[in-house]
Each structure stands twice: as C-alpha cells, then as structure tokens.
Structure 1
C-alpha cells in the first residue's frame, strides 16, 4: 500500500511540479504529515524530491530528473480506453489502476500536451446511467470483470424473473464471458455456452449482472477458454439489442387509447413494444379511440406504466389487469370524493 502511494506521489510531483503538501495530501488521501514522511522516504530511495517555500514553492523534482516509473502495466493501459467512464471504472474495481495510468501518462507528456489533456477532461464527461434511476453496482461485477479479462469459464447462478406475479427462480449456467456492456446504468454480461458453435445464435447469451447471485470457476475449467478472434462485442450488441429488448416483453395487453393517450404512450411504455403496438393499432372508432395490443414485460410493469395515462387508456385484456386498474380507479375516486381533512 505504501509503495503504491510513494509511486503516486513521485508521479504527481513530476507531472504537476509545485504541488503543496496540502494538495498532495488531498490527492493521496493522507495527512500532510504523511506527505512529509513520504517525501523523506523518496529522498532516501534516491528520488530527488525537494520542498520549496514561497509563492512558487511546493514540491519539485531536481531539474532534469525524470522518474522511471512511467511504464504502463497492461491493466493500466487497458483502463485508459475506459477513462471517460469514471463510474464504470469504479464499478469494475479499476479506478485505482486508471488513476495510476493517467498519472504515468501525464508524467510523460510535454507541459503543453499535458495542459491539453487536462483541458479536455474538464470539458467532456460521459454520464452513463439513465435519468430518475439510482444506479446500483452489482455485487459480483468485479468478479465478472476479472473472468472477462482472464477468459475464464464460470458457473453462475442467475435469478430469472418469473412471469407476471410469479417469484424469480434461480438457474445455474456455464458461461464463457466475452464482455460486459453498460446500458442506461445497467450492466450486462455477454458470453457463449461452452461447446456450442459460435455461428449459432443460441450459443450466445446475455445476462443482467445484478441478477447474478453466485459466481465460481466452472468445474474442470483450469485453463482459459479460447476466445473467438472474430467476435466483436460492439457489433454483437448492436445486432442483438433490439431482439434482446423485445425478448423481455413476454406478455401482451390489449388497451384502448384516446388520441392524447396514443401520443403519450411512447413516454411510458417500452420503445421495443410501442413500435410493434402501433403497427397493430385499429382505425379510430367513433369517439376517436384506437385499440392495440401492447407487448409488456409483466402485468406488474404494465400496471405501473398504464396508470400513468389516467383516463386516456382503458385496459381491455387480460381481465386480471383490467380488474386491478378498476380497483385502483375506485380507490382514487373514493379518496377524492371524500372531504379533505385538515392535517395541520
């Protein structure tokens, strides 16, 4: 731990000469007294760190001295490709490696190029999670990431969601994890079934990482699996994302909508299902309402989505959902028919 901190301190001083003890303490997450002790340790190790007083003071290296600590390790170089996704790096357990990689890179740049790199970091930031959703980090995501990096076959327990009101059921699967995808704040692992031909669609599987409840090395899988060199994760995701989203919509409900409800439907329902539903819509009836079949993930999800449309939607089928919406409407009517009580 201390050795890594000393390396970080030397790189910080080389890349940003003049940092004060207070600034270094903030960067390293230690006290100023620890910074002073670490500076002495670096001096004893032959790194000519010196502290200067005055307005242009702070910590410097001796003129002309360059550390030999700037060679990137493989994991540090790999994380540079994710440096625009700080939250993703943290989720994957790679934030420390990325910080060290950026320090090493900064230490090798000319001052003019270093300023340009810092300027771009201040101007561009990618925020991956969706609005109005608190991002959650799957507990086993770092382990999944290590399996992806190492091309290690894993056995995972997966909580498969039940249909409608049925509880989830846990299944066990063997998987060669090829990659991880962050989509709208949700992590997915993409892989193939061991032994299946990769030219078959059934060989490839996609699982939500937050539904992986257990993870272990596959029995007898001592060596890394042989990765298909033709596999392109980005291309695979683009080709299968629409089909995957549609596969989540396992139930269909029949609804009648006003013109306003029809216009608002894309804002409350899943886009993959809305397009299909609009294609099945009937011509407007005498009141201007249209009837359509809407694919949904479950009746619970449909209830939450459709009640947001109020009186602009009428559920026709299935009867279980219609009855639930009817009870909800009665409860609302009873609430608003009653005289408001003074809560003061």
Structure 2
C-alpha cells in the first residue's frame, strides 16, 4: 500500500512540480504528516526530492531528474478505457490503478500536451447513474470483474424474481463471463453457458445486484476460450432492443386526430413508438386516423394516452375504453362545478 503511494507521489512531483504538502495530501488522501514522512522515504531511497519555502515553494524533483516508473502495467492500461467513468472504476475496485495510470501517462507527456489532457478532464465528465438513485456497488462485483478479466468460468447463484404469482427462486449455474455493462447505474454481467459448439449453451444476462453467490466453477482450472466474433456493445444493443419488445404485451386500437398522430410517438415508450407507421394511414371522413399500437399493459397505456386528451379515442380493448369513459365523466363532473367543489 505504501509502496504504491510512494510511486504515485514521485509521479505527481514529476508531472506537477511545486505541489505543497497540503496539495500532495489532497491528491494522495493522506495527512500532511504522512506526506512529510513519505518525502523522507523517497529521499532515503535516492529520489532527489527538493523542498522550497515561500510563494513559489513546494516539493519538486531535482532539475533533469525523471522517474523510470512510467511503464504501464496491464491493469493500469486497461483502466484508461474506463477513465471517464469514475463510478464504474470505484465499483470495480480500480480507482487506484486508474489514478496511477493517469499519472504515468501525464509524466510521459510534454508540458503542452499535458495541459491539453488536463483541459479535457476539466471540460467533460460522464455521470452514469440515474437521477434520484443512490448508487451502490454490488458486493460481488469486484470478484466478478476479476473473472471477466481472467476468462475464468464461475458458478453463479442468482435470485430470480417471482412473476405471475410465482414466488422468487434462486438458480445456480456455471457461466463464462464475457463482459460487464453499466446501464443507468445498474451493473449487468453478460455471459455464455458452457457447452459444445460455437454457440455454447446460449447467452445470458444477469443483474449483478441479484447475484447471491459466486465461486470458481468445479473442474474449470483453465481459462475458457472466448468467441473472437463476440462484440459486447453490439450484443448489448440487440439485448436491449429484444427486451424492450418483450414488454409490449397487448395491442390497443386508437383513433387519432392529425395532431394526436404527430404527438403519439412522444408519449409512448421507444419500442412502442417505433411501431407507429412513418406514412400515416388514410384518414376517415372526419379526418381521424385509426391504427393499432403495441403497449406494455392497459395501466401503462392509460397513463401514456391521457396526455393526448381529446386528440385520441380508444376503440379497443373494451376494458381500456371503459376506463377512459369513466375518466372523462369524472373530469366533466369536476370541471362542471365551481372551483373548490362548489355547485354552479
């Protein structure tokens, strides 16, 4: 732990000469007293750290001295691809490796290029978690990430939520973990069930926060052979599209004004909006258009379509139409009275 901190301190002094004890303490997340002790340790190890008092003071390396610690280790190089995702790095347990990698990179850059790199970090930041959700890293995420890096088959226990009145249950199966995805603050693992043939036993996606147990798969002493054609980003896009389509379980028949037809894609879920025809069907004599739209449920459709007001009429299913009829009556009663509940 201390050795890694000393390396980071030497790199900080090389890339940002003149840092004070307070500045180093902030960068290294230690006390100023610890900084002073670490400076002494570097000096005793032969690193020529100089200190100066006054306005232009601080710690710096002797003129002409450069550390030879800038060769990136594999883990540090890999974290550079995640350097714009501080939450992801923290969840994966890679924050320290990323900090060291960035310092090593900064130490190798010319001053002009170093300034450009720092400028971009000051101008762009990616905050992955959704609003109004306190991000929390699943307990088993770092261990699962190590299995992904090393291509090790794991035995995974997963709490499957109950559906359609069925109780929740836990399933356990071996998995070849191909990748991890952070979506709106939630981590998912994408993997393949071990099996014969190029497709293995099929692809699976699990929420990591529902993984209850994780261990090396029995008898799986060697890394699994990854499918070289697998593209995590493409696989995830296809998975999301297929998942969105499975949510569209019923079809409603609508009659819309021209204005309602234009607004319809804005009130539907994206998967449902994609089903709205680009070319409008022929309107009837009154100028209304009739079409079928897939939706998740009658409850969801009611919440979405009320935004269209009198520009939409639900023709089917009958239950949803009856719900809109009752809603219209309640509005008429409410707005037929004086404000505050008085009678006209």
1:255 and 1:313 in contact (8 A); partners too: no
The aligned residue for residue 19 of structure 1 is 19
Structure 1 vs Structure 2 CA RMSD? 3.5
Deviation at 1:27, TM superposition (A): 1.1
Task: Tell me how far apart the structure 1 counterparts of residues 43 and 16 of structure 2 sit (CA, whole Å).
Answer: 18
Task: Tell me how far apart the structure 1 counterparts of residues 285 and 196 of structure 2 sit (CA, whole Å).
Answer: 55
- The DSSP-based 3-state class of the residue aligned with 2:79 is helix
Q: What is the number of equivalent residue pairs in this alignment?
A: 337
Task: Tell me how far apart the structure 2 counterparts of residues 244 and 4 of structure 1 sit (CA, whole Å).
Answer: 44
Task: Tell me how far apart the structure 2 counterparts of residues 104 and 35 of structure 1 sit (CA, whole Å).
Answer: 20
Farther-moved stretch of structure 1 (27-36 vs 204-213): 204-213
Superimposed CA distance per residue, residues 22-54 of structure 1 (whole angstroms, 9 cap, x where no aligned partner): 111111122222222221222223222221112
Q: 1:97 to 1:196 in 2, by over 3 A?
A: same
The aligned residue for residue 262 of structure 1 is 261
Task: Tell me how far apart the structure 2 counterparts of residues 124 and 298 of structure 1 sit (CA, whole Å).
Answer: 40
The aligned residue for residue 157 of structure 2 is 156
The aligned residue for residue 57 of structure 1 is 57
Contiguous gaps of at least 5 residues in structure 2: none
Task: Tell me how far apart the structure 2 counterparts of residues 162 and 304 of structure 1 sit (CA, whole Å).
Answer: 22
The aligned residue for residue 113 of structure 1 is 113
The aligned residue for residue 7 of structure 1 is 7
- The DSSP-based 3-state class of the residue aligned with 1:105 is helix
The aligned residue for residue 272 of structure 1 is 271
What TM-score does the superposition give when structure 1 sets the normalisation length?
0.80
Superimposed CA distance per residue, residues 160-203 of structure 1 (whole angstroms, 9 cap, x where no aligned partner): 5735x877655444321111233455443222121053348x72
The 5 Å alignment of 1:282-297 reads 283-285=282-284, 288-297=287-296
What TM-score does the superposition give when structure 2 sets the normalisation length?
0.80
The 5 Å alignment of 1:220-239 reads 220-239=219-238
Q: 1:42 to 1:308 in 2, by over 3 A?
A: farther
Deviation at 1:316, TM superposition (A): 5.1
Q: Would you say 1:177 and 2:196 are equivalent positions? A: no
Farther-moved stretch of structure 1 (307-316 vs 179-188): 307-316
Superimposed CA distance per residue, residues 43-89 of structure 1 (whole angstroms, 9 cap, x where no aligned partner): 22322222111222111112222223222221111011222222332
Contiguous gaps of at least 5 residues in structure 1: none
1:159 and 1:213 in contact (8 A); partners too: no
1:258 and 1:289 in contact (8 A); partners too: yes
1:153 and 1:221 in contact (8 A); partners too: yes
